[in-house]
Amino acid sequence: MFHQWVKRPYRKLMLVALVAGLFSAGCGQQYVMLDPAGPVGKSELHLMILASIAMAIVIAIVFVLFFYALIRFRDKPGNTAPYRPEWDGHKWLEIVWWVLPAVLLTVIAIPMVKTTYALDRIPKAKDPVVIDVTSLTWKWLFQYPGQHVATVNYAVIPAGEPVLFELTANSPMNAFWVPQLGGMEYTMPNRVLPLWLEASKPGTYWGRSAQFSGIGFEKMMFNVKAVSPAAFQAWAQNTHATASPMTMQDYKQLLKFNTVGNATYGGYPQDTFPTVASGFTLTGSGMYTIEHNKNGIKYLPMTMSTNR
C-alpha cells in the first residue's frame, strides 16, 4: 500500500501536479488572503507565511521519520532491520521532541504577540475618517458621522490613510470582513467594536459577512471603494448636498428581514447608532459613551455613578 506509493515516484509527481493545478485554477488574484491591499492585511499575511514555514519544518521532520520507519520496519520476509520489541524509551530523544516544537513555536509566538498589539492601535495621523457600520438583516448600513452621509451595501473610503470602522448590529451577530484590506471583527447588538483598515491604493475591494445570520446571509456582500482623499471629500460633500437624507421611516424599512440593493443618503437620523455601548475600544475596555464632533471621535469611559 504505502510502500507502493513511495516506490513509484511518478505517482508522487501526480500529487504535486494536482496541488499545483489547484493553485492555478483561476487567477492568483482571487486568493484574496494572499493578495492584501493594505498594511493590516499585509502584516497578517506576513505572520501566515512565517507560521507556515515553521509548520512546514515540523511537517517535513515528521514525514521523513514516519516514512523511513514505515518502509524500514515493515513486517515482510527477509527484512533485516533490527527488531527490538522491548525498546520503550530514550531520554534524549524525548527531550528533543519536547524542546524542538517549543523552539519553533517561540519563533512564531513573539511576532504574533507584537502584531496582535500593533494592530490594535490605529496609527497616529490626522483624525481618521470614522465609519459607523451596522449589520442589519440582511444588509449593511454605513454611516459617516464626520461627513453626514450614509450608504447601504457599499462604502467609500479614502485610500492611503487608516480608516476607523465602528461595528455594531441591529440584527443577529455578523462579522465585518474585507479580506484584501485585513481581518474581520464581529458586529454585535448593544456593543460597539472598533476595527481599523487601510487601502494602500485606490480600488474596489469586496467584503462580506463572515458569521451566519439567517436565510439571507449569503447576500450580505458589499464593496468598499477606495478613492483618493480629495475624491473622497468631493464625494462626501456632493452626496451630502444632493442626496436626500435618510428618515426614521427609511431606517425602519431597513430593519425589515429582507435584502436590498445599494442606496445613498445625504444624512441620517440621530439614535440609529448606539451612543452608549459596552465593549472594548482602542483605548481600553468597559462601558463608554461615544462622542462625535468636528475634532473626531472621543470615547468617554463611564464611571459607576453615570452607569446607574
**Interface of this chain with other proteins, residues 52 to 111, rule: CB under 8 A:** 52, 54-56, 58-59, 62-63, 65-66, 69-70, 73-75, 79, 81-90, 93-94, 97-98, 101-102, 105, 108-109
For position 223 contacting other proteins by CB under 8 A, the verdict is no
For position 5 contacting other proteins by CB under 8 A, the verdict is no
Residue of 34, 255, 260, 276 interacting with other proteins (CB under 8 A): 34
Q: What is the dihedral of CA 248, 254, 256, 261, to 10 degrees?
A: 150
For position 32 contacting other proteins by CB under 8 A, the verdict is yes
For residue 187, give the 3-state DSSP assignment: strand
For position 255 contacting other proteins by CB under 8 A, the verdict is no
Q: CB of 255: closest distance to other proteins in angstroms?
A: 11
Please answer whether residues 223 and 207 qualify as being in contact, where contact means their C-beta atoms are separated by less than 8 angstroms. yes
Q: CB of 82: closest distance to other proteins in angstroms?
A: 6
Site for other proteins in 172-191 (CB under 8 A): 172-173, 175, 177, 179, 182-186, 188-191
Site for other proteins in 129-148 (CB under 8 A): 137
Q: In which residue are the cell numbers 468631493 written?
A: 234
For position 30 contacting other proteins by CB under 8 A, the verdict is yes
- Residue 62: exposure state from Cβ atoms within 10 A (0-12, 13-18, ≥19): exposed
The string over 101-135, giving b where at least 16 C-beta atoms fall within 10 Å of a residue's C-beta and e elsewhere, is eeebeeebeeeeeebeeebeebeeeeebbbbbbbb
Residues binding other proteins: number (CB under 8 A): 95
For position 41 contacting other proteins by CB under 8 A, the verdict is yes
For position 214 contacting other proteins by CB under 8 A, the verdict is yes
What kind and span of H or E run contains 273? none
Site string for other proteins, 262-281 (x = CB under 8 A): -----------------xx-
For position 20 contacting other proteins by CB under 8 A, the verdict is no
For position 163 contacting other proteins by CB under 8 A, the verdict is no
Give, in order, the Cα–Cα distances in Å from 307 to each of 25, 40, 57. Answer: 56, 35, 53
Separation CA 157–CA 182 (nearest Å): 14
Residue of 131, 156, 164, 193 interacting with other proteins (CB under 8 A): 193
Q: CB of 194: closest distance to other proteins in angstroms?
A: 8
Residue whose CB is less far from other proteins, 114 or 201:
114
What kind and span of H or E run contains 129? strand 129-136
Separation CA 244–CA 222 (nearest Å): 21
Separation CA 1–CA 10 (nearest Å): 15
**135: its cell numbers:** 449589520
Q: CB of 149: closest distance to other proteins in angstroms?
A: 26
